[in-house]
A and B are shown apart, each in its own frame.
With several copies, the nearest count.
Chain A
Amino acid sequence: MLAEEQRISMADRLRADFPALHQSVNGRPLVYLDSAASAQQPSCVIDTVAEYARHDHANVHRGVHTLSHRATDAYEGARDKLAGFINANSRREVVFTSGTTEAINLVAQSFLRPKAGPGDKILITHMEHHANIVPWQLVCEQTGAELIVAPMDDSGTLDTDALYALLDERVLLVGVVHVSNALGTINPVEDIIREAHAREIPVLVDGAQGVPHKAIDVQALDCEFYAFSGHKMFGPTGTGVLYAKEALLDAMPPYQGGGDMILEVSFDKTVYNELPYKFEAGTPNISGFVGLGAAVDYLLGVGLETVSELEKDLLEYMTARLSELDGIRLIGTADNKASVQSFILGDIHSHDLGTILDHQGVAIRTGHHCAMPVMQFFDVPGTARASLALYNNRDDVDRLVSALTVAQEMFA
């Protein structure tokens, strides 16, 4: 445990690493409270990407010349870093995708679609992001399988008993979000995985909001699939990871066809490449993953324990300060939460709130947060959401609260 002053000086030091935070917006120093949508990048990531392009770029895997070799080393080096970051058993289990969304679609099409049919079920929760809903709806349409949904309560806590009661032999897969981007709820994925496995049901964890905030150990979790995005963990956009157990990947048909995912092509017969390449067709986002490798180094340098602690402390502070406001309704009040607070302020529409805050240099997200079923559950058209990352501090929260007060005055 860090003492309070240590936390404060730590956060200030980290903040200095992120150039985008040091600017004025509408005449005020920027307060960035939208990291759950996309995080800012530290200089080391931005510079790594640029240096790669300036010195080392070439296509990967197929070249014998020096640049191609350097590019391949940098790209595959990033895979090793990511494998270590989530403690995968092997780099063969780390499939690079364009993001969480593609990772889940890959599982939906290559793992689930071939085995799904009428009567089969896919079980998700009521607090999923669209990325963990729509891919399954598409498979259901394609195969006649059915999407079923485990409920949550008014605090945004998953009803795990109800979820377990839905686990029957027709459930082909459980898809559950690790940390809800709309509510901040941290789901007990360890328990869910254990219960699902007791019934031999595989589990996909949507970890988009997991990886930036806490240490992930996929072997300890023992999930079949874990999906996440680079741009939410301080890396470049257009990068993501599907972790999957090797035996499953081995048994799955490829997702896309093209270069790099094959060993041999003729018009009669095509032999697919080894893992993970079987699932990486075409020229990958080389510079993006090289940058993501740098983001992993950065996060490990700070230490995920430190990140969790800083954010937990700040989230408590933010929730307390927001609660002081007249007429505020906090959405998402589960006991176990991370880095996100959604709310509604009186009868001010979240969109108006967003504009008025932006006018004061405070960036929050407003609307449905790609989780419309959550909005339907709470019967609101949208919420305002302030989300934290390792670079936020108490001053940011104070600025948020005073900007909200201004909005209240304007709408008084």
Chain B
Amino acid sequence: MSGAGDSEIRELYRSTILDHARTPRRFGRMKNPTHTAQGINSLCGDKLEIYLTVQADKIVDVSFDGTGCAISLASASMMSDRVIGQSIIEAMSDIELVGDSLNGSSSATLPGSLEALKGVREYPSRVKCATLAWHALGAAIESDGSVATTE
């Protein structure tokens, strides 16, 4: 591949991302979730459903299904890795951190393996893909059953 900035696009589609996108972890409908919410990205038609089992303010199980681009699926998959076992408070703080870090309003680094998402910062039109699952997670936690969007 020729052209300037190849490293940037390779960074966006680095192997961690492609791997999560191809074989997303915890993909599938949950039987009896305590919380659930849908996320829609009107830009590209991505649509994720997040399922949570919350016990005593702790996320004891999480899964998701739906359709999306590599970025949104990978982000959802990595999110499920990250938040399983977290307290609601920890998860809420991660949601904020990921949002701020990806849309550039904070220079904080992304925690742990989420670092793989950072290439998205160079692609403002794709930030919404990366944050979709996180928006939906927030909506699921608040669980008023509404649809989360990334506007």
Contact = CB atoms under 8 A, between A and B. Distances in A.
Assess A/B contact in the complex (Cβ within 8 A). Answer: yes
A381 B71 contact: no
B9 A381 contact: no
Interface string A346-373: 0011111001100111000011100010
A27 B44 contact: no
A171 B43 CA distance: 34
Contacts, number: 92
B44 A26 contact: no
A277 interface: yes
A410 B71 CA distance: 14
A137 interface: no
Given A27-B3, A264-B40, A360-B3, A277 B69 contact: no
A interface majority secondary structure: mixed
Given A360-B3, A375-B45, A381-B46, A263 B149 contact: yes
B1 A409 contact: yes
A352 B68 CA distance: 10
Contacts of A73: 124
B115 interface: no
B108 interface: no
B40 to A, nearest CB: 6
Interface string B1-30: 101110011101100001000000000000
Contacts of A28: 3-4
Contacts of A352: 13, 69-71
A69 B125 contact: yes
Given A61-B43, A352-B71, A366-B44, A410 B13 contact: yes
B147 A367 contact: no
B1 A350 contact: no
B135 interface: no
B69 A359 contact: no
B113 interface: no
Contacts of B8: 359
Interface string B41-66: 01111110000000000000000000
Interface string A226-270: 000000000000000000000000000000000000111000000
CB-based closest 10 A-B pairs: A27-B4, A349-B69, A351-B69, A351-B44, A367-B44, A381-B67, A359-B9, A381-B45, A382-B45, A406-B1
10 contacts: A27-B5, A28-B3, A61-B43, A277-B151, A350-B69, A351-B46, A351-B69, A351-B126, A355-B125, A381-B45
Interface of A: 26-28, 61-64, 68-69, 72-73, 262-264, 271, 273-274, 277, 348-352, 355-356, 359-361, 366-368, 372, 375, 381-382, 406, 409-411
Interface of B: 1, 3-5, 8-10, 12-13, 18, 40, 42-47, 67-71, 123-126, 129, 147, 149, 151
Given A273-B151, A349-B70, A411-B13, 15 more contacts: A28-B3, A64-B126, A68-B125, A274-B149, A277-B151, A352-B71, A356-B9, A366-B44, A372-B45, A381-B44, A381-B68, A382-B45, A409-B1, A410-B1, A411-B70
